[in-house]
Structure 1
Amino acid sequence: MNKVAGAEKKHLFIHGKKVVAIEYATLYSPYSCEAIAQVAVADEKLVEAAIQSAQSGFQAISQMPAYKRASILENVVKLLGKRLDEAAEVIANEAAKPIVFARAEVSRTIETYKFAAEEAKRIHGETIPFDASPGGTGRIGYTVRKPIGVIGAITPFNFPMNLVAHKVGPAIASGNSIVLKPATQTPLSALYIAELFKEAGLPDGVLNVVTGTGSVAGEALVRDERLAMITFTGSPAVGIAIRNKAGLKRTTLELGSNAAVILDKDTNVDQVIDRHISGAFSNQGQVCISLQRIYAHEDIYEEFAEKFAAAARELKIGDPLDPDTNISALISRKETRRALEWIEEAQQNGAKLLTGGKLTADGVLEPTVMTDVDPNMKVSCQEVFAPVVILNKVRSVQEAISYVNDSRFGLQAGIYTKDIDTALFASDTLEVGAVMINDIPTFRVDHMPYGGVKESGTGREGIKYAVEEMTELKMIVWNRGE
């Protein structure tokens, strides 16, 4: 794919075919503002067609042996591996993700589908010792896991290929069909993957892609009673609305965060700077577990602040297709304006800028490091989703933990310490879904259970854990007549 692939039309993908819509919307590059494509806007009738297709697709995939489902996923792994650079350019163009990070996302997507292929072969239940109860004598029993049906998947812009894989991979591995609604700004990655699955041998109707608005396509999926589950990654406000409308459907909701790390007084600053820069500024901070808040012990605070800000200034800003670029445009000009408003609000309330806080000539927000930020300011207490980091000085780990927990979010947190008791205390008391000891909260590998507490969501992703969400436990009891 070239930098600008013309304004070619991108249609819906329903029942293995490209389906024309009545309306198309122009998709623009977040960095250059040039037209990339004309993308189909699904109406309710087209969403209905996709759901009907998924219903027929479910009949095919649910009856397919596990080894065949695994084989299809393995074929996708091979195809995507051969086209890694091409797939990375798709991401870089539609999301302005620097190409080095786009390639890393494709590599992770390949790994995610590998895990899904492996997991397809080990979906099983367990035997139950019924004779543990007097009433169970003479009976044997076991459980099996059955696919639940049509799954509606609504995915975000920040990892448009890998977060699709985290929904599509386990759904296919467990024998379910999918109607996928990608983010409005990043539909091309989803359509690219759908074509790859067709080439890999996936039966028509198992994977359907409806592009368009959340208010029409997303809403239709959430309200339709024929869907068994909605799996969503996005904002808390939308996630809460989905849960309120979904009825008895299962919901997995991966929502927001303002992830934090604690640096104890024994932290070697020089050893951790690069890791923190990566965690804070990768993908312009548009990561659910992006490092947003740093609580550094007063003994190391000044050294860390100076070196962290200096490292942030060294990041190269520019074109996402330049292999040397570290930071490029946020997903939209609207999001850029919002981030600037939050920075300005904090400054008006006494916050100081160590670096950044301004736009470059081509409209990219500089990597921004702030201190003396009131915890009630949006850049601290809400999810900034931009290259903005807050530095805080604390007197103890206990004080830092109280600040970390004073949040409506609870996805992941990290702590650096050489003291085992401190590490254990933090792992026990931090109110998050995952605690990283001697690492940043941005750590994730694709087979770990991933999800949070509070307004960070419900349910868990990570292939094995997503399969559990996407299957029904069924109990089988045999009476031997004894």
Structure 2
Amino acid sequence: MNSAIFKFEKPKNETVLSYAPNSPERKELTAELERMAAQQIEIPLIIGGKEVRTGNIGKVVMPHDHNHVLATYHMAGEKEVKMAIEAAVEARAKWEKLPWVERASIALRIAELISKKYRAVMNAATMLGQSKNAYQAEIDSACETIDFLRFNAYYMSQIYSDQPMSITDTINRVEYRPLEGFVFAVTPFNFTAIASNLCMSPAIMGNAVVWKPATTSILSNYYLMKIYKEAGLPDGVINFIPGKGSVIGKEIFSHKEFAGVHFTGSTWTFNAFWTEMAKNLPTYRSYPKVVGETGGKDFVMVHPSADPQQVAVALVRGAFEYQGQKCSAASRAYLPKSMWATVKESVGKMLADIKVGDVRSFTNFVNAVIDEAAFTSITQYIEKARNTKDAEIVFGGTYDKSKGYFINPTVIQAHDPHFVTMEEEIFGPVLTIYVYEDEKFEETLDLVDSTSPYALTGSIFSNDRYATEVAFERLKYAAGNFYINDKPTGAVVGQQPFGGARASGTNDKAGSYLNLIRWTNPRSIKENLNPPADYKYPFLSE
């Protein structure tokens, strides 16, 4: 078997199930939600395949019912972080020698387990622990997680088969080694798929990982670890250590075997990581690979030729799906004055119809924001808009945390294009709209490009191809993922590789070979089939 030259074919994206009333998947998911909500589990650290309990306990609660405890979890201290590093370094020695097809096979088995056996479990854990509705959980914790795993096996085939040319007396090849040391994965709360991919993409390339999950997504992340184990991932390849970032980071970034960080989170945190790494450069065996996807202030730019109803739907979906807690969520929009009244009316009708509440009621389009800190931060922005002459609240602006962290979808009209909610990342169900004079379309494009330090996602709505092309060029560096006549969210693995630049990260494009190749340390190998026997070259002859 090991002598075979194997290639994984390009997979198809996992089918998104509908969860329509009376469908089998809805019945299964409803039963799993009831089962999971009725129990309280204990979540240990997992280091070298062993469960570790520290006694330093945190709680996992439902954001939409914050008095309901789903789990307690143990937090890592200095000792456990060191143990995780040692386990990763030890596991890497054997893991990297495993044939790449075997590593890929484990990833594909994980995908199959999530697709069939554990689909309802992963979706229920994401719904309850991260307050996602059934559809948002399905496209995340089921479909995107599966797609990352399957497409990564395919991209692995592409990378390893990319070899240099050889000539008659020379054989040339490239060996794609893993990094020399361990990889630190720091994952966010908002996507279970990102949590999985930040760990599994380095691992599939032969690296061992120390994983710090977000404290607000520990439930679904713990189930991922259990599935990894069942699929045959060797002990120590991924080490699961919830805990405080300051405690974990101190040990990680000062260790000589630190080889790279795979991160999704705030720009501020990523900058702090980079600064700490710079201080410790003399400590490391190699320059670490730094891959990060950070903040965004994602835009929708609208040309007067656009269809108002299409624009309105894109704004509502793009801004308010998963409560705006997507890195790619529409957060600022620029509408021509001639269209504003029509779009405003349409958006208002949709928002009047949208229900807000518990994820277990499938009719709720909007659920809770992730925790009290997020609730406080988001509502402070709403109050700034309420108490200024530079902006006004058009829709929403109400909120209540008595039972869950609920914020109603809020639309702000900014009279000043540099009002704070047009410029700063909010990460919640708040959309700010600036209305521009129709004849100032190109001038407004420059405003879009210069207003935000971020460059993650953005879109242009236009039925004028010349105007579209102007926007395409003027906004060339304003977004790593750019959409034409679509909302700026919903990137699909294998279709729209995801990532942005400027203050939005290193743009290493999760969901393509570009990300995977960052977790390799290539070695070029030349074999001379006819070595020379004399030092002299022909030109030396008289």
Give the TM bin, normalised by the shorter chain: over 0.9
1:329 and 2:368 equivalent? yes
1:20 to 42, 46, 53: 53
Equivalent-residue separation in structure 1 for 2:319 and 2:355 (angstroms): 15
User: CA offsets per residue over residues 358-417 of structure 1, 9 Å max, x none?
Assistant: 014745100001112534433221111010001111234313322221211111111012
RMSD value, Cα:
2.0
1:318 and 2:361 equivalent? no
User: CA offsets per residue over residues 288-321 of structure 1, 9 Å max, x none?
Assistant: 0100111112222221122123212221100012
Aligned amino acid, residue 154 of structure 1: V
User: CA offsets per residue over residues 42-84 of structure 1, 9 Å max, x none?
Assistant: 0011111111111122122211112211211111111111221
Equivalent-residue separation in structure 2 for 1:439 and 1:223 (angstroms): 44
1:97 and 2:125 equivalent? no
Equivalent-residue separation in structure 1 for 2:370 and 2:164 (angstroms): 51
The 1:429/1:408 distance shift into structure 2, 3 A limit, reads: same
User: CA offsets per residue over residues 99-151 of structure 1, 9 Å max, x none?
Assistant: 331122122211221112323333226454699xxxxx965533332211421
The 1:371/1:28 distance shift into structure 2, 3 A limit, reads: same
8 Å CA contact retained: 1:94, 1:185? yes
Instruction: Give the aligned partner of residue 64 of structure 1.
Output: 98
The 1:130/1:109 distance shift into structure 2, 3 A limit, reads: closer
Aligned amino acid, residue 410 of structure 1: A
Deviates more, 1:364-373 or 1:273-282: 273-282
Instruction: Quote how far apart the aligned CAs of 1:419 are.
Output: 2.6
User: CA offsets per residue over residues 217-275 of structure 1, 9 Å max, x none?
Assistant: 24432332212110111111100000111233111111100100111111112234323
Instruction: Give the aligned partner of residue 422 of structure 2.
Output: 380
Equivalent-residue separation in structure 1 for 2:253 and 2:502 (angstroms): 22
Instruction: Quote how far apart the aligned CAs of 1:476 are.
Output: 1.7
8 Å CA contact retained: 2:317, 2:487? no
- The secondary structure found in structure 2 opposite 1:475 is strand
Equivalent-residue separation in structure 2 for 1:438 and 1:97 (angstroms): 26
Deviates more, 1:280-289 or 1:120-129: 120-129
8 Å CA contact retained: 2:156, 2:513? no
Across the two proteins, how many residue pairs are aligned to each other?
Answer: 476
Equivalent-residue separation in structure 2 for 1:417 and 1:252 (angstroms): 34
8 Å CA contact retained: 1:125, 1:143? no
The 1:127/1:42 distance shift into structure 2, 3 A limit, reads: closer
1:468 and 2:513 equivalent? no
**Structure 1 stretches lacking a partner, 5+ long:** 132-136
Instruction: Quote how far apart the aligned CAs of 1:162 are.
Output: 0.5
Equivalent-residue separation in structure 2 for 1:37 and 1:316 (angstroms): 28
Instruction: Give the aligned partner of residue 51 of structure 1.
Output: 85
1:358 and 2:398 equivalent? yes
Equivalent pairs: percent with the same residue? Answer: 27
2:443 to 373, 387, 399: 399
Instruction: Give the aligned partner of residue 221 of structure 1.
Output: 252
- The secondary structure found in structure 2 opposite 1:349 is coil
1:286 and 2:325 equivalent? yes
Aligned amino acid, residue 16 of structure 1: G
Equivalent-residue separation in structure 2 for 1:152 and 1:286 (angstroms): 24
Instruction: Quote how far apart the aligned CAs of 1:435 are.
Output: 1.6
Instruction: Give the aligned partner of residue 107 of structure 1.
Output: 143
8 Å CA contact retained: 1:369, 1:391? yes
**Rg larger for:** 2
Deviates more, 1:76-85 or 1:118-127: 118-127
Equivalent-residue separation in structure 1 for 2:163 and 2:156 (angstroms): 20
Please give the TM-score of this superposition, normalised by the length of structure 1. Answer: 0.93
Equivalent-residue separation in structure 2 for 1:239 and 1:446 (angstroms): 24
Equivalent-residue separation in structure 1 for 2:50 and 2:507 (angstroms): 32
8 Å CA contact retained: 1:313, 1:355? no
The 1:451/1:86 distance shift into structure 2, 3 A limit, reads: same
2:160 to 96, 121, 124: 124
User: CA offsets per residue over residues 275-294 of structure 1, 9 Å max, x none?
Assistant: 33111111100000100111
Deviates more, 1:137-146 or 1:198-207: 137-146
Equivalent-residue separation in structure 1 for 2:229 and 2:164 (angstroms): 40
Instruction: Give the aligned partner of residue 134 of structure 1.
Output: none
**Structure 2 stretches lacking a partner, 5+ long:** 1-31, 282-286, 533-542
